[in-house]
Structure 1
Amino acid sequence: MGLPKVHRLKKTKDFQAVYKRGQYYKSSHFLMRVLSGDHQTKNPFPTQFGISISQKISKKAVVRNRLKRQIKAAIRSLLPMIIPGLKVVITVLHNRNECNYEHFLRELKQLLVKSNIFYGHTKECF
């Protein structure tokens, strides 16, 4: 299962806005760009995620799509704890070794805490 439709970042202009104006945070496998929206209002729009995987990671679409599915599943499990009103693009960095789901989940959680978009957590937690 993927992300719910309201949490998907689909339009090219949205991706480019995040690339141009968003802050970035890096880990060993991911580069995460975050563009803050208006999350101070009473009913903010939900946080939207986009995933970018280059053909440098793998020439095979099967491998790239499997990585996307694993990342989306990890994000979906963390959605209730993420601050609303953001646009996030996650780029998978080129690495020689494969990652499993648990490693993706742990690394994404650390990046979300590092970027201060995780409810109730700050950088000092890790």
Structure 2
Amino acid sequence: MDERLPKNERLRKASEFKFVFQNGAKYKGKYLLMFSVSGGTGKFGAVVSKKVSKKAVVRNKIKRRLREIYRTNKDVLPEGTDIVIVALTGAVRVNYNELEKDFHNVCKKAFA
């Protein structure tokens, strides 16, 4: 059984990310920053900069966690909302459950 986030639900082009960053509303959590644009196609993207960690292995691990958190919780999000999650520097030191809690807190701010 394939439980990956389908390609048609991922933001992949730089222009898609740029659109969400420029037109999206911004919500900050303890470890995450969320940009969201309603009326989109319901896609998701994760960004982890080199400021968070110089090691690509660590950055990719955080991105995998963020994609999984989105995939398992996308049913509580409004349909047709494009979302970009930017990991903040503290995201390296926390476990999956803490990231998921922060994701829920940011979603409450954004979609309440």
Q: Return the TM-score normalized by structure 1.
A: 0.80
Alignment of 1:17-96 (within 5 A): 17-37=19-39, 45=41, 47-95=42-90
Query: Could you tell me whether the CA contact under 8 Å between 2:91 and 2:99 is conserved in 1?
Result: no
Q: Kindly, what percent of the aligned residue pairs are identical?
A: 34
Matched, 1:115 2:110: yes
**Code of the aligned partner of 2:56:** A
Larger radius of gyration: 1
Unaligned runs of 5+ in 2: none
Answer yes or no: is the 8 Å Cα contact 1:35–1:88 preserved in 2: yes
Measured after TM superposition, the shift of residue 95 of structure 1 is: 2.4
- Tell me, in whole angstroms, the C-alpha distance in 2 between the residues paired with 1:63 and 1:80: 28
Counterpart CA distance in 1 for 2:92 and 2:65 is 15
TM-score (norm: length of structure 2): 0.89
- Report deviation, 1:2: 3.9
- Alpha-carbon distance between aligned partners in 1 of 2:92 and 2:43, rounded to the nearest angstrom: 28
Letter in 2 for 1:5: K
CA apart distance, 1:96: 7.9
Whether the aligned pair in 2 keeps the contact of 1:30 and 1:91 (CA below 8 Å) is yes
Unaligned ranges ≥5, structure 1: 39-44, 117-121
- The count of residues paired between Structure 1 and Structure 2 equals 110
Stretches (4+) displaced over 4 A: none
Find 2:93's aligned residue among 93, 98, 103: 98
Note the aligned Cα RMSD (angstroms). Answer: 1.6
